[in-house]
Amino acid sequence: MHDDRHIVEQRLDRVLAERLRPAQHRDATPCDIAVWHVPGEPVDVTEALRADYTPTSTGQPWGPAWGTSWFRITATVPEHWDGRTAEVLIDLGFDDDRPGFQCEGLAHTPDGTPIKGLHPRNTHLPLGRNSAGKTRTFYVEAAANPIILGPHGFQPTDLGERPTEPGPPLYVLRRADLALLDEEVHELVHDTDVLNQLMRELPTDSPRRHQILRALERMLDRLDLHHISATAPAARAELADVLATPAHPSAHTLSAVGHAHIDSAWLWPLRETVRKVARTVANVTTLMATHPDFHFAMSQAQQLAWLKQHHPQLYDRVRTFVHTGQFVPVGGMWVESDTNMPGGEALARQLIHGKRFYLDEFGIDTQEVWLPDSFGYSAALPQLIAASGSRWFLTQKISWNQTNRFPHHTFWWEGIDGTRIFTHFPPADTYNAEITGAELAHAQRNFAEHGHATRSLLPFGHGDGGGGPTRDMLARAARTANLEGSPRVSLDTPAEFFTAAEADHTGPAVWSGELYLEFHRGTYTSQAKTKQGNRRSEHLLREAELWCATATIATGRDYPHDDLDRLWKQVLLHQFHDILPGSSIAWVHREAQQTYQRVAAELDTITTQAQQALAGPPAHPITFNAAPHTRHGVPALGAATGEHTTPPTPTRHPDGTTTLDNGLLRVTIDQHGLLTSVYDHAAEREALAAPGNLLQLHPDHPNAWDAWDLDNFYRHQVHDLTDVEEITTDEHTVHIRRSFGDSTLTQHISLPAHTRRVDITTDIDWHETEKILKAAFPLDIHADRSAAETQFGHVMRPTHTNTSWDAAKFEICAHRYLHVGEPGYGHALLNDSTYGHDVTRDTRPDGTTTTVRLSLLRAPRFPDPHTDHGHHRLRYALLAGADISDAVREGYQLNLPERTTLGSRTVAPLITVDNDAVIVEAVKLADDRSGDLVVRLYESRGGRAHTRLTISFPATAVTRTDLLERPLAEPEAPTDALDIRLRPFEIRTLRFTRTT
């Protein structure tokens, strides 16, 4: 036979696009339209219903950037439409693509009840079959969200700033019509669409492909393009046999889970996400009413809390469908947080607050952690997942790797302590699937475990900007449930998938350590003020809980449960994976800075009041030490009269150098302001292999994703900042002033007494664009790996580039310290708010140089063209002659400065441990307000630890619990000293029942 395949396919494409799809609706007539333009920020529906509306029509512009307009749309359904499906079709001015990234709408009834959302792929409002002769009115809240990431890519735009006054309209109302849905044509479109997509994924020599092709050709021949409605049934009949042919027994099974990944902030502000959640939930609950087999998984407890607060009617609908099993809360976290940068306790609280919300609101103990889009996953996470009472983990983002293809889709993920979590990574390589033939075929071809397992998960629904599944997606799911040539599609819940996958795959591979994303490495540095606010807030929360718990037990003072709960949730929200990483629009980050300032002020007040209650009447200075180690004579977690220490005074020399010497280190600063020597007296060795604290400026032009990415070629060009304007000294500090480009900075270098720590504070007025600033320390150390602090421990990474996996980790994340060393001797770089680092190793004639660099500031142009411009104060330190224990201790002390208040009494710690390897991470009162004390501690060095834990208050029992403070073992009677043995990096939560 002659090969006319391309001719048939071209014919099909044109008929489908130009004739069939438009024929799904007919007899369209314009609706009556009126509009009210909101003068400012969005308003509640009750206010919108009371507003004065002005008649308008299609073709009229509306919506300055971030503005809101309410459209009142009225339609009268003709009597002769009785028994047929009527719909109102609305086009707010949509771009055909990018649902969730442009204007959107939420339709309400005249009593204010939300109906469903509107976006380019979901433009109808249902009237049903029994609306004939009725007049229906809708109020559509239309959001004029600008397109930030447009068709031309990552172009700088000021549209991401919060507007101070209205700008020009961005959109034109194109359509508001009443129309009939021709259901037979509608079904024919889906029949044709599914078969067409499937056909094009099959090999050209596949018999099945040609069977489908000829069936589609016969369908086209039966279809009269001038009388589509009348001939649609006959055309559908030509496709019935090929649609009814079942899938091969060996076909892959896809558990399709409805989803709408909604970024809690990104190219829109937090307040807009509140509305995105409402639109999405309105959509999916409307679908549930007509599709009882449809399940929708919604993560992020914060978003449901917003819904409860702002849209109680929608929240009631959620409750209804949770009880039917169709609306499935998942994820177990407060938000889909970044997992690289949150501190240990913060990451634990993400799980605690998220899971507790689902338990309190719905009685559901979520079993999966659902993080499809975060930018890499901490190796501490498996233990935290297990400690929260969860079993499973899902991600997708690792498919974005630039260099190495991740080798597994279903596997055991092993954390730094050895805990393993059953993990799945959907092979469709998307968390916004639409159940297309291309997606299904790719998932089946891509699945890494063929021969060992037979199923994977497919999250489907419009996401990022929300929207969720549509009726078209469900139509495709129904047709691909059992279709030859396609994987089987089953509408399941996440729990149904994971339960089946565990039974299906009895010998999964093990991946040990972090799930490092070989992409988006710049997120460890972008938006420094956001990162600084997060780090400071985490430590302020630790202090507030510690001193409030101590004050309650010691003085009977009320514990501020509500305030601390609220403040924790504000901090957790801002750990969302496009806020803390610095990849949101300017509006988000400016707002975050204001939030962090309010959080800090409130926590300072709470802590000060608790300390004053503890210290008693003012008499002499009392020093409070919230760090987990004794310092300056003040016990860990207690307060006393501290020992006075005097740092050394700088000495200026005739050759232009300056030295600082505290008896432990001698530090030399040359005439260029660089550290040329850090000499360890006890070890009799030099720390530096070349001048240290060298500031280096690189051009920073990633191939894409400006705020996100740091591409390796940035290293090809570097400018060392060695020019000095002035070097001065005062009693304890050396001050170095420099200028470069459009920026100026002053560094303050000091050497505290009784420590091998060189402190460096950098005040910088930063006004560079597309640059990255690094601080380099070339260390005279032969280190084959680095130890970077992560949550409740550290992660080891190679300093060499033996493999492509090693080479890809050219930028890494560390918390308070990064340590490199030889057996018996090493150094650490400490910081108070910097996360990005790089470590390289070079050979010189007399040894090996291991260079550690901190990434201080970036200046990407998208999505915030003014990223990080302005003043910053950054603190970091070189800790010489340090082991891991030293790095842990000094890292806490740098981030938890002592507080001094006037008082008359010392404060005994509630908890003491006698092993420095054991870190007390949290001391707080129990969340159930019982008055019990909860203590969380962990082993910090990566070895086994034995400690004796002593309490200073009366208690009747001690119970080992999970993160949610639920018992894991029977209570025990406490003794004077509790004997505790911990595995490497083990986290332990203990609950002490107090004597009342």
Catalytic residue set: 373
DSSP state of 631: B
Q: Is the bond leading into 863 cis (omega within 30 degrees of zero)?
A: yes
State the Cα–Cα distance between residues 658 and 660, nearest whole angstrom: 7
Instruction: Tell me how crowded residue 4 is: count the other CB atoms within 10 A of its CB.
Output: 11
Strands 685-686 and 694-699 turn out to be unpaired
Nearest of 743, 696, 692 to residue 719 by alpha carbon: 696
Return the SS3 of 600. helix
Instruction: Tell me how crowded residue 482 is: count the other CB atoms within 10 A of its CB.
Output: 14
The answer to whether the CB of 900 falls within 8 A of the CB of 936 is no
Handedness of CA 381, 384, 388, 391 (dihedral sign): positive
* Tokens coding 819: 């340590």
State the Cα–Cα distance between residues 87 and 755, nearest whole angstrom: 75
Count of positions (residues) in the chain? 996
Instruction: Tell me how crowded residue 723 is: count the other CB atoms within 10 A of its CB.
Output: 10
The answer to whether the CB of 913 falls within 8 A of the CB of 778 is no
State the Cα–Cα distance between residues 15 and 9, nearest whole angstrom: 10
The answer to whether the CB of 132 falls within 8 A of the CB of 82 is yes
Looking at residue 134, its amino acid is K
State the Cα–Cα distance between residues 138 and 50, nearest whole angstrom: 14
State the Cα–Cα distance between residues 214 and 338, nearest whole angstrom: 50
Greatest C-alpha distance within the chain: 103
Would you tell me the crossing angle of helices 561-573 and 301-310 to the nearest 10 degrees?
110
* Tokens coding 659: 């030295």
Strands 296-298 and 733-740 turn out to be unpaired
What backbone torsions phi and psi does residue 261 show, to the nearest 5 degrees?
A: -65, 110
State the Cα–Cα distance between residues 835 and 296, nearest whole angstrom: 36
**Burial class of residue 604, CB neighbours in 10 A (0-12, 13-18, 19+):** middle
What backbone torsions phi and psi does residue 645 show, to the nearest 5 degrees?
A: -125, 145
State the Cα–Cα distance between residues 19 and 26, nearest whole angstrom: 12
* Tokens coding 500: 């089946």
The answer to whether the CB of 517 falls within 8 A of the CB of 400 is yes
Strands 410-414 and 420-424 turn out to be antiparallel
The answer to whether the CB of 366 falls within 8 A of the CB of 331 is yes
State the Cα–Cα distance between residues 792 and 417, nearest whole angstrom: 10
State the Cα–Cα distance between residues 355 and 401, nearest whole angstrom: 30
**Burial class of residue 338, CB neighbours in 10 A (0-12, 13-18, 19+):** buried
The answer to whether the CB of 265 falls within 8 A of the CB of 584 is yes
Q: Any bridge partners for residue 412, and if so which?
A: 422, 510
The answer to whether the CB of 210 falls within 8 A of the CB of 200 is no
State the Cα–Cα distance between residues 833 and 601, nearest whole angstrom: 18
Helices (H), 363-407: 381-387
408: CB partners within 8 A, 6+ apart: 425, 448, 449, 508, 509, 511
State the Cα–Cα distance between residues 524 and 857, nearest whole angstrom: 10
Q: Any bridge partners for residue 838, and if so which?
A: 853
